[in-house]
């Protein structure tokens, strides 16, 4: 595993992890919350003989720039960071892989700048149009996403840090994969060299997509024009169906906005499929690169 800081032209620096073979197909992997780039280590190790992989810590995460202004975490700015990172690393990717919040950025990037990638692989991350629909219309998804409103509280970082992050560990469920070594990596990421979780939580605070708190909530009138969210890039969605936060209904009708789509459903995996089944994830990436 190699580590380096990637300085972007607009003053942002992203701490990156990388592995693989120079000259091989180029892959970028984007993490979610409450993760960091290390979650891709096992997948990148499996891919190293076949691909040139890089996984950046996104804005606000360990080692990367962490502005305090919530506006810096608006989706458009975060997507611009990823676009600039791809350009700084040599241009269009063979494959962009993204999970959770990384997936939210990848969906938007693929819609706005499809020339930056040949293919897209989304892992348990809802498309913005289906997420908006389900947040408005599905009581089950509203309940499953209720935690998002908690994460927007001004004291959320303090509450989450209490008692060795006692409120965060349950995000992972029973998590047989959560070894002592991974726990240590998560603790270090959440402590973030003393910066804590403010940066990661600002993604939620800056996003317009969260469960409505009442009939006049802004999500009820939010408009996402089809032309702004339609993805023409060949796209594969890998979905652990035991995900308790992002329900399978988010896949319904997805082909309206992603016409070149393949969906692989995994009944025996949940939201953390990257940890649960890294061999499956790496194998699918290899297939998409051939």
Q: Is the pLDDT of residue 216 over 90?
A: no
**In this structure, what token pair is assigned to residue 214?**
């009442």
Can you give the length of the chain in residues? 290
- Tell me the pLDDT tens digit for each residue of 123-148: 999 999 999 999 999 999 999 999 99
What integer is the mean pLDDT of 163-187?
96
Each domain of the chain, given as residue ranges in start order, spans 2-289
138-142 long-range contacts (CB < 8 A, ≥24 apart) are 138/247, 138/249, 140/247, 140/249, 141/211, 141/247, 141/249, 141/250, 142/211, 142/212
Q: Is the pLDDT of residue 215 over 90?
A: no
- Tell me the pLDDT tens digit for each residue of 78-108: 999 999 999 999 999 999 999 999 999 999 9
Helix (H) or strand (E) holding 127: none
Residue found under tokens 């408009």: 223
- pLDDT, residue 281, reads 98
- Tell me the pLDDT tens digit for each residue of 233-261: 999 999 999 999 999 999 999 999 999 99
Percent of the chain with pLDDT over 90: 97
Q: Contact, 251 vs 257, CB < 8 A?
A: no
Q: Is the pLDDT of residue 201 over 90?
A: yes
Chain Cα centroid distance, residue 178: 19
- What is the CATH architecture of 2-289? 3-Layer(aba) Sandwich (3.40)
3-state secondary structure of 272: coil
């Amino acid at each position: 595993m190699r580590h380096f800081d990637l300085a972007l032209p607009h003053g942002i620096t992203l701490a990156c992890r990388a592995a693989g073979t120079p000259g091989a197909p180029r892959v970028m992997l984007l993490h979610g919350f409450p993760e960091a780039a290390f979650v891709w280590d096992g997948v990148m190790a499996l891919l190293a003989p076949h691909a040139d992989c890089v996984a950046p810590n996104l804005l606000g995460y360990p080692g990367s720039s962490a502005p305090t202004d919530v506006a810096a975490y608006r989706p458009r700015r975060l997507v611009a960071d990823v676009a600039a990172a791809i350009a700084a690393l040599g241009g269009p990717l063979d494959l962009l892989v993204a999970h959770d919040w990384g997936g939210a950025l990848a969906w938007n990037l693929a819609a706005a700048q499809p020339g930056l990638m040949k293919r897209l692989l989304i892992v348990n991350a809802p498309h913005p149009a289906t997420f908006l629909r389900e947040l408005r219309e599905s009581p089950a998804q509203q309940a499953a996403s209720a935690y998002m409103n908690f994460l927007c509280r001004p004291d959320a970082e303090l509450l989450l840090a209490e008692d060795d992050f006692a409120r965060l560990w349950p995000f992972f469920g029973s998590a047989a994969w959560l070894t002592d070594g991974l726990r240590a990596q998560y603790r270090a990421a959440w402590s973030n060299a003393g910066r804590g979780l403010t940066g990661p939580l600002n993604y939620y605070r800056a996003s317009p997509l969260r469960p409505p708190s009442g009939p006049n909530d802004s999500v009820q009138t939010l408009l996402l024009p089809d032309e702004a969210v339609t993805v023409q890039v060949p796209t594969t969605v890998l979905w652990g169906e035991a995900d308790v936060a992002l329900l399978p209904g988010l896949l319904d009708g997805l082909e309206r906005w992603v016409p070149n789509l393949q969906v692989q459903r995994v009944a025996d995996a949940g939201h953390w499929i990257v940890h649960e089944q890294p061999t499956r994830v790496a194998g699918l990436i290899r297939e998409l690169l051939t």
